[in-house]
Amino acid sequence: MFKCFFKYQAIIAVAIFALSCSNTNNRPIIKFSGDSSSIIVKNIDEASLLQVKNAYQANADTLNLVSVLLKPGDLDSIQDELEVPGKVKILGDSLVFNPDRPFLKGKEYLVESYIGIKFATVGDLIMGKGKQNLKAQQQTLKR
């Protein structure tokens, strides 16, 4: 009886490990386009992309899928991050942010997105490691 118990316990442990590691590297990639005129969010999983497309079709004008903030420089007198206004478009399996004014050369931009952020994986829920609040994916880009 104990042999059977340990055998099934080992199988369950391997299954939990496999499920918890299956999505570790599937976070969306945030980067500048080739000419640095826009910001591209790609590598979005299919479920998140479908939710983004549905939300975009429902209210594209008021939807805030990506936040882009201009980070203050060391010598700037204003120490607050300023939001960069712009428009978001969905092109294929990617999201593209086009600013109203071109990005400034030599400046750093903080990009925040909740696309593809998960509350917890199946393994996390079984182990009791669910998050209480979601943290946005952040990427700093320098032009």
Beta bridge partner(s), residue 42: 29
Chain centroid to CA 143: 20
pLDDT value at 61 more than 70: no
Residues 70-93: tens digit of each pLDDT? 988 766 666 788 899 999 999 988
Q: Establish if 36 belongs to a structural domain.
A: yes
Domains identified in the chain, total number: 1
φ/ψ region of 122 (left if φ > 0, alpha if ψ in -120 to 50, else beta) reads alpha
Residue 63 lies in a domain: yes
Q: Which pLDDT score is estimated for 3?
A: 59
Q: What's the pLDDT tens digit per position in 33-60?
A: 989 999 999 999 888 899 888 888 887 6
Average pLDDT, the chain: 78
Q: How many alpha carbons lie under 13 Å from residue 4 in its C-beta half-sphere?
A: 1
Domain ranges, residue 101: 25-142
Q: Say if CB 92 and CB 80 are below 8 A apart.
A: no
Provide mean pLDDT across the span 18-31.
Answer: 65
CATH number of the CATH domain containing 111 = 2.60.40
The answer to the question of residue 8 being in a domain is no
**pLDDT attached to residue 143:** 81
Going 62 to 131 to 126 to 19, the CA torsion angle's sign is: positive
